[in-house]
A and B are shown apart, each in its own frame.
Chain A
Amino acid sequence: DAGVIQSPRHEVTEMGQEVTLRCKPISGHNSLFWYRQTMMRGLELLIYFNNNVPIDDSGMPEDRFSAKMPNASFSTLKIQPSEPRDSAVYFCASSSYRATEAFFGQGTRLTVV
């Protein structure tokens, strides 16, 4: 398996633009997580899905952020409109239920100017 695949690896956009980050989890995994990493706040859980259903989105910072998982092999995180404070590295991770580890993608480095 190629692991968790995220795209794009880098994104530079202007304030106010819509940004869409993409994630392909490992085949057969039931859970998918979106994290954001910054120097100031560390690693933050934004949202996670079990069996394509959002379970906990309490970490989503504002209504400008939305996430979808239309099927078991694809998820998106959308920011509309983007702001400079959204600049961060966004990670997607997947795992099986319960006692198993999560596998992380390489991340998307987002810069909003």
Chain B
Amino acid sequence: AQSVAQPEDQVNVAEGNPLTVKCTYSVSGNPYLFWYVQYPNRGLQFLLKYITGDNLVKGSYGFEAEFNKSQTSFHLKKPSALVSDSALYFCAVRDDNFNKFYFGSGTKLNVKP
């Protein structure tokens, strides 16, 4: 079965500190992995994706994510958090066979000044 897990409902971090938002996945076939961000009263915005190649993927707004095949993880990271990064973050996997997107439950990131 295809699935995505975001084990933390909420992550709190101080501005300037590094942040990590966790994601693990389960999918048959090749995993296509994505991160999205949602600000209040807005749609989901694409941040970055892993398709193939280098395990460290760089995306928008200074975010990056590391693909780890052995741990089936795709954690989102940023070296130095900003207050403006506070939002809801979703991890997603797209199944190569069915083309569906499976989204995690979301993690609320709070960055405090």
Contacts and interface: CB of A to CB of B under 8 A. Distances in A.
B85 to A, nearest CB: 19
Contacts of B44: 91, 93, 104
Contacts, number: 48
B103 A43 contact: yes
A103 interface: yes
Contacts of A93: 44, 101
Interface string A91-106: 1010001110111111
Interface string B80-109: 000000000010001010111101011000
Q: Bin chain A's interface residue count.
A: 20 to 34
Interface stretch (B11-19, B45-53, B69-77): B45-53
A88 interface: no
Most buried by B among A45, A55, A101, A102: A101
A91 B101 CA distance: 14
B43 to A, nearest CB: 4
A98 B32 contact: yes
A33 to B, nearest CB: 7
Contacts of B101: 33, 45, 93, 102
B67 interface: no
A91 B43 contact: yes
A104 B45 contact: yes
A31 interface: yes
Top 4 A-B pairs, shortest CB-CB distance: A104-B43, A104-B44, A99-B51, A101-B46
